[in-house]
Chains A and B, each alone.
Chain A
Amino acid sequence: RKEVEQDPGPFNVPEGATVAFNCTYSNSASQSFFWYRQDCRKEPKLLMSVYSSGNEDGRFTAQLNRASQYISLLIRDSKLSDSATYLCVVNIYSSASKIIFGSGTRLSIRP
């Protein structure tokens, strides 16, 4: 079983729609969680950290469910510029930070 699993998509939604991505992780010792965004042929960039109480940054909301080992990302009022691949990231912290990426979910926003 992969350590971090995501639906690869692609998700193709109209501009203005709300879209949600899910991610599951297998290691219950995982300590911290992030969502990254990657544009085609570019390096990943941090979108937001994910906190236990849930957190929001503008149109983006992240949730963490430790009991179910599940992370989500909600994008409201999607823009054309939101088209990218969204990567779920888990830090399996023990004696060192081992940071594992999901394979990513592709999102395409159409006009």
Chain B
Amino acid sequence: SQTIHQWPATLVQPVGSPLSLECTVEGTSNPNLYWYRQAAGRGLQLLFYSVGIGQISSEVPQNLSASRPQDRQFILSSKKLLLSDSGFYLCAWSLPHNSYNSPLHFGNGTRLTVT
């Protein structure tokens, strides 16, 4: 069966520091991968999605970036965090792009507080 791992669960970082969040999926090949952010009391905002290694689509301009160095690994990064980057970051996967009825499956999320 498929599993998704996301770490760390919580993170407190000072403004201006770098960020690296990692997500890995097991038990499936060539998944679609996603990063979402949820600010306190708000909905999920799609940040990035990827249909394959090195293929990243960005949804909103910001100081975040994403990379997919391996098929089942998705990394969210920032060179310099802002206070507004605080939130609940969720990684998710779905079946490859030709399976459009595939729902998303989420990791447990990372709660990031920028101080």
Interface of A toward B, CB cutoff 8 Å: 31-32, 34, 36, 41-46, 49, 87, 89, 91, 93, 95-104
7 additional A-B pairs beyond A49-B101, A98-B57, A99-B104, beta carbons within 8 Å, are A31-B100, A49-B103, A96-B32, A99-B94, A101-B36, A102-B43, A103-B43
In the bound complex, CA of A100 to CA of B104 (Å):
11
Residue of A nearest to B107 (CB): A43
Give the Cβ gap from B70 to chain A, nearest Cβ, in Å: 18
The B contact surface, by secondary structure, is strand
Interface of B toward A, CB cutoff 8 Å: 32, 34, 36, 42-44, 46, 49, 51, 57, 59, 88, 90, 92, 94, 97, 100-109, 111
Task: Establish whether residues A97 and B32, one from each chain, have CB atoms under 8 Å apart when the complex forms.
Answer: yes
Give the Cβ gap from A60 to chain B, nearest Cβ, in Å: 15
Task: Establish whether residues B109 and A43, one from each chain, have CB atoms under 8 Å apart when the complex forms.
Answer: yes
In the bound complex, CA of A40 to CA of B59 (Å):
25
In the bound complex, CA of A36 to CA of B43 (Å):
12
Among B36, B103, B106, B107, chain A packs the most CB atoms within 10 A around the CB of: B103
Which residues of chain A are within 8 angstroms of B36 by Cβ–Cβ distance?
101
Which residues of chain A are within 8 angstroms of B32 by Cβ–Cβ distance?
96-97
Task: Establish whether residues B100 and A101, one from each chain, have CB atoms under 8 Å apart when the complex forms.
Answer: no
In the bound complex, CA of A104 to CA of B57 (Å):
24
Task: Establish whether residues A97 and B100, one from each chain, have CB atoms under 8 Å apart when the complex forms.
Answer: yes
Which residues of chain B are within 8 angstroms of A89 by Cβ–Cβ distance?
103-104
Which residues of chain B are within 8 angstroms of A46 by Cβ–Cβ distance?
103-105
Give the Cβ gap from A79 to chain B, nearest Cβ, in Å: 23
Task: Establish whether residues A97 and B49, one from each chain, have CB atoms under 8 Å apart when the complex forms.
Answer: yes
Which residues of chain A are within 8 angstroms of B101 by Cβ–Cβ distance?
31-32, 49, 91
Which residues of chain A are within 8 angstroms of B49 by Cβ–Cβ distance?
96-99
Top 8 A-B pairs, shortest CB-CB distance: A103-B43, A43-B106, A93-B100, A101-B44, A96-B51, A31-B100, A32-B101, A46-B103
